[in-house]
Structure 1
Amino acid sequence: MPHDETSGFRPHDVTMPQLGMAQDAGRIVSWLKSPGDPVARGDALFEVETDKAVMEVESPADGFLVGVCYGEGEDVPVGRVIARISDSAGEDGGPPPAAPDPEPVGDATGDLPEGHAVTMPQLGMAQDTGLLVNWLKAPGDEVSAEDILFEVETDKSTMEVEAGRKGWLAATLAQAGEEVPVGDPVAIITDKKPEAPVARSRKDGGAPAPAHTVAEAAPAPRKAEAAPKAAAARGGRILASPKARRLALEQGLDLNRLAEAGHPQPFHVADLEALRAMPAAAPAATPSALPRRLTAACARDGLSEFAPWAEEHGLHADAVLAGLAGASLGADGGVAVAVERFGAAQAFAVPPGRRLSSVTASDETPALLVRDLRGTPISTVAMGAETIPVLTITRDGDGLCITLECPAAGFDASAAIRLLTDFAGRMEQPLRHLL
């Protein structure tokens, strides 16, 4: 990649991310920026569709979008350069380089078996590493292409990574709680059953564990005794799949109780059965059970500025508001959001992918309520937590004040902060965060 020594700016390639081991290519659904447009790090450049989801790909740096090599509707191999971020709007990106063919992995010492590498997937352009949360298979296990090997966490989500091919898990190259750079091998799958499966840790320099200690180095997942160590690696934060978190929120279940009981994280839908079977919690209020109330200030009311464009394109104002809120909640399986104005509420279904044009009216029970008080003289609210989180929008000069009130049960502090921060950003700059 060329480097401009005079300006100190290094151009950045925009590549097709790998959203899962079974993904060989992604289809460009739409470009959200045009060639020559100025972009900032984190700006959504285009939407990509795989067999599982529609996702926005963000800019890896500040600069100008140049060298766009593929158009909407085209399938692009994983790792292929799609465009470039340069310091000049006039630079030509040139033809995209060919993606390298995958090579078998192993090492010169003979400690690792030769086979096919399972690498840390790239879930977004701004992602450099992923946290390996949990192994769901042990070294020596036979696997199919669809079997889940491990779970990885980024700053945006928790994702299950599939084996991608049939064979045996001959080696694991990182342990739960370790950060792994994007593209680095995490495991090795062989066509034949390994005689001596290997388990390695990145922290000890990659030294292999002897075969007879494999069970100790990489314990079988989902055992309660492994939970304290995993929780410590995450700094005490509750980790759950988006669907489990959404269902717990809708059903008033407190995921903190699973963590306190020693259940291993991340929590999945199946873990909610164990939560339902727990004895009723003591009614005495504790600090962890107190309702949460957070406020955020927006310097400008971007939604009002965005409204004429939305109306021109046939987007209902309440549907837009529901879509922005649903995207902020981060429910990958879709979510129902209600919008309330002057005491009247309408629920909307925000489907996976969260494109505003796909938001429709719904009779579902909402998991989130947006109360729009911009048309009233009310400036602050303290209504108390309801059964679901409530985002209240009020005027604050030329800007907005957004208040989040929610029950502590099923909605930990980090999730509340993330929801309010994401929603405030979308209200201030809807076009930047348009999904």
Structure 2
Amino acid sequence: MPRDVTMPQLGMAQDAGKIVAWLKAPGDAVTKGDALFEVETDKATMEVEAQASGFLTGVTAGEGEDVPVGAVIAQISDSADDDTPALQPAPANSDDLPTGKSVTMPQLGMAQDTGLLVNWLKSPGDAVAADDLLFEVETDKSTMEVTAGFDGYLAATLAEAGQEVPVGAQVAIISADKPTNPVARSVTATSAPTPQPVADKPQPPQAEKKPTTLPPATTDGRILASPKARRLALEQGLDLALLIKAGHPQPFHVADLDTLRAIPTETPVATAAAASMSLTAEIASDGFTDFAAWAATNGLTDADALLAGLVGASMTAPCTVTIDRFGQQQSYIVPAGRSLSEVTQSDDTPDLILRDLRGTALRSVSVGATDRPVLTLMSGTSGLKLTLECTAAQMDGAAAIHLLTTFADRMEHPLHHLL
């Protein structure tokens, strides 16, 4: 069936994005990972990748158009002739809703279609500040706290805890005045997609499906699985390796855990959850921004390479560091020594992932143990906030403390790295 292509949310405060250029034409064959179009926001211009293979069809937005976050702008279909209309979220029933600023479900990853609203941190009618934590949202990759984004009062909540909400759908209203009758609704009453009738028509022949094959095994024996699936498997004592033995294709997702539970075993699975650590540091000022601008005047124009160099130097170099920003990743090899000019791009498996969330409204993150240590960089009240998450098997407590404190010092005083 067709896969919707939606306008991604590249920043927490982003309501819409401008389509700069389509990199594929309607009817073109696309492969998962191909650059599909360029989108521009107030903060950046980025290429958006196709999240499935097929043919680009049903393009509804042209170059130069501003498109709301979460709106369907095209489809990836099994056939170039498929013109099945896309389902658009129905508008909220606004006749009896209070007026104010809309808070929408953020897109925390490029492949994310929905988010699970885990918990409301404010109640309808509460006064909120722009930086107050409003609710928690969970995707396959992470669980994060989302801020209100506006000063005022929580006049309406349009989804309940435990419900899946489409990306870009309205989940709350912040009003300037204290509401007399705050509203609390279920998502089904506001943003659930409304199926559109499709006239009967001859269906084009479907391309012959090729048998699914397992991806090649990794050289280091890693199992390919989403962070959420990995975390739940650890918590529930499930062995993901049994899925590989049963011939189940990787990567594994949460839905595959039901298959795993049904696999008979000769002895009970006794995989214990690996002990994990989460360390947080705050620095009073961000010295890296000015340092990167100075370095650019001296020929070092790749700011991500500089960032990877500072992280790698805080570890045991040589090593490989991946910079992750809104689902876009680039890895760098950091050689031994302090020379930032020798940091180069790489396709190697990373020793550590740096998730850069500066400039977003996020102020805390809790992803849990993954197959690599994850260092998250966020904006703080005045400077920066850094969170390191890893397992005891990946590094001991002393090494984790050394890494975080050393990197925090380098981000606050980058010139110390050159001394």
TM-score of the superposed pair, with normalisation by structure 1: 0.40
TM-score of the superposed pair, with normalisation by structure 2: 0.41
